């Protein structure tokens, strides 16, 4: 039944594409996640409309396109998405739209050898590429090149804007390395609700544990909780973290489990994982959200404020 409904929606989409429609004269680029929207906003020339379908706190693994989204996607001049099955439930729609308009996957700019394979699915790829800012910069470079092919008169602007954004990404990347380096080595373990931080761990030197796998689609079970609790108790991990796009109850169960085993673990704070912060806040962009995460991780684990020389 679900498939049938999806078919009808897609058929409707194709049918409407042929019909005359009102459309603003602005070039419109529709992006899936807020991270992708942020990347595109940073590089396109002024005056281009950039829309992100998924707002703050939205989980892309579970997100289904609404009727409004389908209209926006249908009216878009170009669609940019993250890829590697991050937008699991939008895959069909994106693929079908790719036959009638330009659809760009940011992750296509990242070499296969740079990608991580989740242990539960060794053939697949971990989609959380924005947590290694140097990797993300490669994906954004690909989007810049693709947009430059479609709009050759944008090339100068795209090049200059990308250069500035890349510098910002790379300087934040180096800063994050220094901050994590300053945490005592035996405390560099990041425990979160789902496995969103493997690229982060590899890039900045932390061990990473998630209660759920790389997708939030499958539910965690009691066995997952007790395995994680045992590890936290054995390794005397001081803090665990909740995520802005995953319900808190999973990590709260882990904290309770540790307490019952005589180990006090604190809630280190909330991390932005698969969505950015509220609009018009310092975390409504990737670099802002990333910096907030690094500071939260540092102070959650060490229970200290960031030293003056590392404050940004
Ligand atoms: Zn995720």
Residue 85's contacts (CB-CB under 8 Å, 6 or more residues apart) are: 91, 124, 125, 127, 215
Question: β-strand 49-52 against 28-31: which pairing, if any?
Answer: parallel
Neighbours of ion ligand 1 (CB under 5 A): 196, 274
According to DSSP, the residues that pair with 103 across neighbouring strands are 79
Q: What is the pLDDT of residue 8?
A: 56
| Same domain flag for 210 and 84 | no
- Averaged pLDDT for residues 33-62: 96
User: 15 C-alpha vs ligand 1 centroid, how far in Å?
Assistant: 34
pLDDT tier at 9 (50, 70, 90 boundaries)?
low
Q: Give percent of the chain above pLDDT 90.
A: 80
| Same domain flag for 50 and 169 | yes
User: 160 C-alpha vs ligand 1 centroid, how far in Å?
Assistant: 31
Q: What is the pLDDT of residue 20?
A: 42
User: 205 C-alpha vs ligand 1 centroid, how far in Å?
Assistant: 20
User: 197 C-alpha vs ligand 1 centroid, how far in Å?
Assistant: 9
Q: Which tens digit of pLDDT belongs to each residue from 158-205?
A: 999 999 999 999 999 999 999 999 999 999 999 999 889 999 999 999
Note whether residue 14 is domain-resident: no
| Same domain flag for 76 and 159 | yes
Residue with tokens 């940019």: 80
According to DSSP, the residues that pair with 239 across neighbouring strands are 266
Note whether residue 52 is domain-resident: yes
Q: pTM (2 decimals)?
A: 0.89
User: 20 C-alpha vs ligand 1 centroid, how far in Å?
Assistant: 38
- Give the separation between CA 133 and CA 156, rounded to whole angstroms: 23
Q: What is the CA radius of gyration of the chain?
A: 20
Q: Report the CATH number at residue 164.
A: 3.40.50.1980
Distance of CA 48 to the CA centre of its chain: 23
| Same domain flag for 137 and 213 | no
Structural element, H or E, at residue 241 = strand 239-243
User: 35 C-alpha vs ligand 1 centroid, how far in Å?
Assistant: 12
pLDDT tier at 50 (50, 70, 90 boundaries)?
very high
Are 108 and 146 contacting, i.e. CB atoms less than 8 angstroms apart?
no
Note whether residue 46 is domain-resident: yes
User: 273 C-alpha vs ligand 1 centroid, how far in Å?
Assistant: 7
User: Domain span at residue 219?
Assistant: 184-304
Note whether residue 11 is domain-resident: no
Structural element, H or E, at residue 207 = strand 207-212
The count of domains in the chain is 2
- Averaged pLDDT for residues 225-251: 92
Note whether residue 53 is domain-resident: yes
Note whether residue 119 is domain-resident: no
User: 217 C-alpha vs ligand 1 centroid, how far in Å?
Assistant: 9
């Amino acid at each position: 039944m679900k498939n049938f409904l999806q078919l009808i929606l897609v058929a409707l989409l194709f049918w409407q594409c042929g019909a005359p429609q009102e459309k603003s004269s602005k070039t419109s680029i529709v992006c899936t996640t807020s991270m992708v929207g942020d990347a595109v906003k940073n590089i396109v020339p002024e005056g281009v409309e950039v829309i992100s379908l998924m707002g703050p706190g939205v989980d892309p693994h579970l997100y289904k396109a609404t009727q409004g989204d389908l209209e926006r996607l249908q009216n878009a001049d170009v669609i940019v998405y993250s890829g590697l099955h991050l937008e699991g439930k939008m895959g069909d729609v994106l693929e079908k739209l790719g036959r009638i308009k330009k659809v760009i996957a940011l992750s296509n700019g990242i070499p296969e050898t740079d990608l991580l394979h989740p242990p539960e699915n060794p053939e697949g790829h971990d989609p959380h590429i924005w947590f290694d800012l140097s990797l993300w910069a490669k994906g954004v470079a690909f989007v810049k090149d693709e947009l430059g092919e479609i709009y050759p008169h944008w090339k100068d602007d795209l090049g200059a804007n990308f250069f500035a954004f890349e510098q910002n990404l790379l300087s934040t990347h180096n800063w994050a390395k220094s901050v994590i380096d300053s945490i005592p080595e035996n405390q560099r373990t990041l425990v979160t609700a789902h496995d969103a931080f493997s690229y982060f761990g590899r890039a900045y030197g932390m061990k990473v544990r998630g209660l759920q796998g790389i997708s939030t689609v499958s539910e965690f079970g009691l066995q997952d909780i007790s395995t994680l609790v045992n590890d936290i108790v054995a390794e005397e991990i001081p803090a665990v973290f909740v995520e802005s796009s995953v319900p808190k109850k999973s990590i709260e169960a882990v904290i309770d489990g540790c307490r019952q085993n005589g180990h006090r673990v604190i809630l280190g704070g909330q991390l932005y994982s698969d969505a950015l912060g509220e609009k018009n806040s310092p975390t409504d962009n990737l670099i802002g959200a990333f910096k907030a995460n690094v500071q939260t991780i540092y102070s959650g684990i060490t229970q200290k404020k960031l030293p003056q020389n590392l404050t940004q």
